[in-house]
Chain A
Amino acid sequence: NAGVTQTPKFQVLKTGQSMTLQCAQDMNHNSMYWYRQDPGMGLRLIYYSASEGTTDKGEVPNGYNVSRLNKREFSLRLESAAPSQTSVYFCASKRELSMNTEAFFGQGTRLTVV
């Protein structure tokens, strides 16, 4: 049981390049999330998806787009990367959006934009 899998683990982009961070979960969870983690700022929510076919903005959505491809997969796209998007990105999933169940996290994608 892999849980939440993120690819790639590391990535270096040049300013202006685009890329997609992939996330897949095998726990049959309905809700999925993308967070970014920056030193001294904790984790901040970028986008979330309550269920397949729905997405909503979180705290810091600017510069990002998301796609809930199916129940398993939730991707995060940077259309034109900026140095301010250098961060560690975490995907998470939860059984249901409005349940007091645990959120499971992937191991993160470390992105550097130069």
Chain B
Amino acid sequence: AQSVTQLDSQVPVFEEAPVELRCNYSSSVSVYLFWYVQYPNQGLQLLLKYLSGSTLVKGINGFEAEFNKSQTSFHLRKPSVHISDTAEYFCAVSDQGFQKLVFGTGTRLLVSP
């Protein structure tokens, strides 16, 4: 069975600073990895996904993530954050059948001026 660990429950950062949100996964088979964002009082929106190919994946709103198989990680990064990036970010893993998404516990990104 797959599982996802997001070690940071909250990450405070100043506007225009870089940020990294950490995600580690465990699985005995090949996995597919996703990052979702949830703005206040909204549903979840897909930021980016890794299925195969290049390990550096670019998503919407200037975010990118790097798949590292040896470290079983899929960290999310942005070189310069905006106030509007304040949200909760969820890492998720899916098995090869894509039947179910298993989510991490989420990381709340707080961007202040």
Count of residues in B whose CB is under 8 Å from the partner chain: 24
A48 contacts the other chain (Cβ, under 8 Å)?
A: yes
A26 to B58 CA separation, bound complex (whole angstroms): 28
Nearest CB in chain A to that of B43: its residue: A105
Contact call A90/B103, Cβ cutoff below 8 A: no
A106 contacts the other chain (Cβ, under 8 Å)?
A: yes
A102 to B32 CA separation, bound complex (whole angstroms): 12
Number of A-B contacts (CB under 8 A): 56
CB distance from A105 to the nearest CB of B (A): 3
Contact call B103/A106, Cβ cutoff below 8 A: no
B45 contacts the other chain (Cβ, under 8 Å)?
A: yes
B99 contacts the other chain (Cβ, under 8 Å)?
A: yes
Residues in A with CB closer than 8 Å to B90 are: 42-43
B70 contacts the other chain (Cβ, under 8 Å)?
A: no
CB distance from A85 to the nearest CB of B (A): 19
B71 contacts the other chain (Cβ, under 8 Å)?
A: no
Q: Which residues of B contact A (CB under 8 A)?
A: 4, 6, 9, 32, 41-46, 49, 51, 90, 94, 97-106
Residues in B with CB closer than 8 Å to A97 are: 97-99
Contact call A58/B100, Cβ cutoff below 8 A: yes
A111 contacts the other chain (Cβ, under 8 Å)?
A: no
A107 to B40 CA separation, bound complex (whole angstroms): 10
A1 contacts the other chain (Cβ, under 8 Å)?
A: no
Residues in A with CB closer than 8 Å to B32 are: 100
Contact call A41/B105, Cβ cutoff below 8 A: yes
Contact call B44/A100, Cβ cutoff below 8 A: no
A39 to B68 CA separation, bound complex (whole angstroms): 28
A40 contacts the other chain (Cβ, under 8 Å)?
A: yes
Q: Which of A35, A42, A108 contacts B106 (CB 8 A)?
A: A42
